[in-house]
Structure 1
Amino acid sequence: MAEPMFTLCGQVANVYVQPGGTSKKTGEAFDPRDKVQILGHVPLQGGGTKLDLVTLNVEDAKPYQVVQGKTIRVPVGTYAVGKSVGYFIPQGARLALVSGS
């Protein structure tokens, strides 16, 4: 895998499975999905930081459950969602435990 351009660093706050269901918009069925929520500091333009919680789909929740409460670094990709930015973990990407956490 190529060196990632963006990485997300933060504390694994929660790991869960989103139940499957049916999309209200399209009517299509979708399978359950493993999710991880990472809490981290986001720099502000005028200086300082704010806390932000990012929820990501993951292929397998088990590696994230093992490090829940610890600080990790994981490569992410980005995409536009209206005027906001969405994030995803590229397939095959691996998390790294940040030392001292």
Structure 2
Amino acid sequence: MANAHVNVNLIIQNVDNISDAIDAGLSAGFIEIRSGTQPARVTDAPTGTVLATIPLQDPAMGAAANLNPNVRAQLNGTPADNDADAGGTAAWGRVYDSEFRSRP
């Protein structure tokens, strides 16, 4: 197996782009936690039951940082859902901007 080496600045830029996409709507984005089988693609309709909806701050994350050997962008604040939408086993989640556009 070959190892691939990627420039860390490119990774940081991509993580920042994801953060910008979450913040693209008029207000804060959110995370949906769902039961059931995860769809194969982010463009497929969500499946299962919504168990929790976790609101994010706007902006959702700080700038990505090089934590050699990893890159991380930390969520701002302490996102929490204080009132679960339904009971069940969490199987997958999806991140949305405030306009309900799903983000990878």
The structure with the greater share of residues assigned to helix is 2
Q: Larger relative contact order (C-alpha < 8 A, sep ≥ 6)?
A: 2
TM-score in terms of structure 2 length: 0.25
Q: With structure 1 as the length reference, what TM-score do the two structures score?
A: 0.26
Q: Return the structure number with greater strand share.
A: 1
